Amino acid sequence: MEMRKGKWSLQFTIMIMVCLVVALSLFVTDILISRTVSETIEKSQGEKAENIARTVARTPLVIGALTGDDPQRAVQRYTNSIRKATGVEFIVVMDNNGIRKTHPDPSKIGRKFEGGDEGQVLKGKEHISISKGTLGKSLRSFTPVYDEKGKQAGAVAVGISLQTVQEAVFKNRLNIYTGTLFGILAGILGAVLLARYIKTILFGLEPVAIAKLLKERSAILQSVHEGIIAVDPDSRITLVNKAAMNTLKKAGISDNPLGKRAEYFFTASKLEKVLKTGKEDLNEEMDLKGTHLLVNRLPVIVNDQIVGAVSTFRDKTEVQQLAVQLTGVRMYAEALRAQSHEFMNKLHVVLGMVHMKDYDQLSHYISDLVGRSKDEMNSITEYIKDPVLAGFLIGKMSHARERGARLYVFSDFPLPEPADSEITHELITIVGNLIDNAVDAVEKRPAKSIDVMFDYADEILTVEVRDTGTGISTTDLDNIFTKGYSTKGENRGIGLHLLKESLTKLGGELDYSSKVGEGTKFVVYIPYKAKGIQDD
């Protein structure tokens, strides 16, 4: 028997409780049935004695013996034969003075009837009683005997031994006890099966462990930063964590969402679709009364049945800020890596010149390197005011040099920081994929040149990326934005698809042209509001 912390296990507790309930029910039933059976048997035995007494009392032979017309010896033989045939203890015929005319023991004939309960019948009243006579304690039925003129001539007493009655009661009770025993055994078996079934449903966990898991689950749900909402198969909300409540309040919703349909709060919710199809929706955008959310929706499936769905969401603004910071750090790290690799190559050149003692050429080479690096940094930081975008472009320039290509960045006018940081995130996706494709395109070309030009006017940002690569055929141009389509091999064809999605989010447009063997040009037009400029 498994014990935990001094308490009974769930299985043992269920077994004990079920067995006690079954035993108590059977015990009470036994008491009630036994009492009813006893009363029924006593009543039936009394009716049996009464019927025999009435039959004997109406027999002409008995009436004749009491009136003197028939001999008493014949009555004695008659009553003995009836007694043996019916199984009663005695049949006594007595006159109006209570003197026995018949008795199982012939020596008792002629003596007064014993028991003291014959008085009523001698007065003409039929009755049943329990009393002790010469044959012991018995259940007796008394019936008066009348002659042909209707005058009482005596009485008949029929007795049934109480021991016989008790034996009949015990026999019936024995059957009840047998049924009770089988009932208890069946209850024990049922309790064991029920306990095992419940234990299986609860994954073998004890109530203490279940309570602990419930508290841990509640603490986890309330501590996560993402909002979590769970619904049942009818799309009614069953769980809302603290972060979700804060998001709802931020959107101006103060009603208690529990028990209400998800569509009441989220008009654009797709939870009902998830419940019907069982397919998850990931990284979907949703507008909740002006609050932009990034939402994941997943079905809850138990035993291949959809029993609900869970939606997790987070304020898209926070996600974008994290993405921009992550992108900036990643680009900065990539730029440092590229520059470190580039610097090591240049150190090898410097080391070679030192060994050759060509100090004049070494001085000229170092001056050229310093000037070029300074010019590149200055040109980027002077015209690109967004530090994340500037760091990104510097990293791309170093990466292009590693691949043997030259990346040039131009801008006729300074490009201010955007008012919305989301633009920077999407702009990095757009420009990054265009530059990566251009670097791949010029890799096997004699002239490896890539130009990136920025132009900003009337709140429209124009970005042109031109390369001297192999170009794109007319057939491929029709499919380059299809997800998974690529001429570079498997597991490619994602970049331009993401570019198209980013342009759609920003409301931008795209022009492109290409000639095989000459190069490709992409031009994007993006609504771009500068930081610090307010609407009129």
What CA–CA distance (Å, rounded) separates 85 from 62? Answer: 17
Q: Print the domain residue range for 233.
A: 227-316
Whether residue 454 contacts residue 461, with contact meaning beta carbons closer than 8 Å, is answered with: yes
Question: What tens digit of pLDDT does each residue of 17-66 get?
Answer: 777 877 787 777 777 777 777 777 778 888 888 899 899 889 888 888 88
Q: Are residues 266 and 130 in the same domain?
A: no
Q: SS3 for 298? A: strand
Whether residue 49 contacts residue 88, with contact meaning beta carbons closer than 8 Å, is answered with: yes
Q: Are residues 83 and 173 in the same domain?
A: yes
Q: Are residues 378 and 477 in the same domain?
A: yes
CATH code, domain with 298: 3.30.450.20
Q: Are residues 133 and 69 in the same domain?
A: yes
Residue 533 covered by a domain: no
Q: Are residues 208 and 248 in the same domain?
A: no
Q: Are residues 216 and 171 in the same domain?
A: yes
Q: Are residues 216 and 232 in the same domain?
A: no
Residue 327 covered by a domain: no
Kindly tell me the burial class for residue 373, based on how many C-beta atoms sit within 10 Å of its own C-beta (0-12, 13-18, 19 or more): middle
Name which residue leads in pLDDT, 165 or 447: 447
Question: What tens digit of pLDDT does each residue of 64-82 get?
Answer: 888 876 677 888 888 889 9
What is residue 502's predicted lDDT score, i.e. its pLDDT?
Answer: 81
Report the number of distinct structural domains present in the chain: 3
SS (H, E, C) 396-451: HHHHHHHCCCEEEEEECCCECCECCHHHHHHHHHHHHHHHHHHHHHHCCCCCCEEE
Residue 351 covered by a domain: no
Q: SS3 for 83? A: helix
DSSP, res 99: B
Residue 335 covered by a domain: no
Residue 332 covered by a domain: no
What is residue 377's predicted lDDT score, i.e. its pLDDT?
Answer: 62
Q: Are residues 116 and 205 in the same domain?
A: yes
Q: Are residues 105 and 174 in the same domain?
A: yes
- Of 193-202, 354-363, 450-459, 469-478, the least confident: 354-363
Q: Are residues 161 and 232 in the same domain?
A: no
Q: Are residues 362 and 488 in the same domain?
A: yes
Question: What tens digit of pLDDT does each residue of 234-284 get?
Answer: 888 888 888 878 877 777 777 777 877 777 666 556 777 788 888 887 777
